Amino acid sequence: MRLSRLTVAVAVVLAMGALGIWYTQRPQTVTVVMPKRGSVAEVVYANGVVEPRTWAKVTALVRERIVEQCDCEGKPVEQGAVLARLDTSEAQAALVELEARLRLARDDHQRLSVLVERNATSQQSVDRASSEVAQLEALVAGQKAKLESYALRAPATGTVLRHDGEVGEIAEPGTILFWVGQPSPLIVVADVNEEDIPRVKVGQRALLRSDAFPNQNLEATVDSITPKGDPVTKTYRVRFKLPDDTPLMIGMSTDVNIVIRVAENALTVPSLALRGNAIFTVEDGRASRHEIVTGIRGTKDVEVQSGLAADARIISPYPEDVAEGARVTFAKE
């Protein structure tokens, strides 16, 4: 009875061992693709915003209430046209006070000038009165100039592209109330990372994508690159010229892909099939790892310059859990 039980136990262990060997030798299922021929482009990516080539922003210089505003959004205006007026009551009262003080100072200066001729006062008193007149004249001139800033005027001839704020609201200094410019031509302004900017040149083609026009092919051309970058964001501002018939509108955001280089009729593989320059192929039912020489790396495909046959069967995506020489089988479609 004991021998029989021992025999059964040994048989179970052997069976389990055989089953484990069978599991370890079972081929792993992978998905394979073939290399393909086509065009692949090296691109630099950036986010951009559509702007007019020529425009200006109108802001308030003082904190005051809006008392008048033109109904001119979308309409042409001439340079110097009044777009809005701010409440001048306090500033005007301050000017009246300064002018009254100036009149008194002038009268005092004139009186002292007569007295000094009669030797009834000192020249020093006259000089002090003259200095006070000059100071008040400067204050009056400054207050009048300040009052001019209470009228917000068009900085150039163009169209009022947009206005913010309403009559009765408080205009804060630096807050943009009007955008005035030419509706066309339009450009896209984008910030490009400093590590990419050496590859960007004036005249290069750019492909745009906008959520407003998802099914349209939009293009632009690199127009200019700012000579000085931003050391904080580590970016350079790049402007792209849009064609006259572009459907894009001022203020729209776009994804910008600057085409640096294009390889035609290139042998390509999916970027998902690569880890660095390593790739797995299937040869005689087993996984084989290769190091290839790559060229342009696009968003979806990578150019293969050498190290891969055109009829190779490539495991894609890259198999993280498949070892060199492991048995593999193809996944059913």
What are 179-199's pLDDT values in tens digits? 999 998 999 999 999 999 999
Q: Which two tokens stand for residue 30?
A: 């992978």
Q: How far is CA 319 from the centre of its chain?
A: 37
- Where b means 16+ CB within 10 Å and e means fewer, 297-323 reads ebeebbbbeeebeeebbbbbebbeebe
Task: Give the contacts of 212 (CB within 8 A, at least 6 positions apart).
Answer: 247, 248, 249, 252
SS3 content of the chain, % helix, strand, coil (to 5): 25, 40, 35
Lowest mean pLDDT across 71-75, 173-177, 329-333: 329-333
* Verdict on whether the full-model pTM lies above 0.75: no
What are 137-165's pLDDT values in tens digits? 999 999 999 999 999 999 999 999 999 98
**How many other β-carbons are positioned within 10 Å of the β-carbon of residue 170?**
13
Q: How far is CA 93 from CA 61, 62, 88, 144, 147, in A?
A: 19, 16, 8, 11, 11
Whether a cis peptide bond, with omega within 30° of 0, leads into 185 is yes
Q: Which two tokens stand for residue 34?
A: 């073939």
22 pLDDT more than 70: no
What are 278-296's pLDDT values in tens digits? 999 998 888 889 898 988 8
Domains delineated in the chain: 44-54+183-263 (2.40.30.170), 62-86+150-181 (2.40.50.100), 89-148 (1.10.287)
Burial of 117 (0-12, 13-18, 19+ CB in 10 A): exposed
Residue that is written with structure tokens 């308030």 in the block: 60
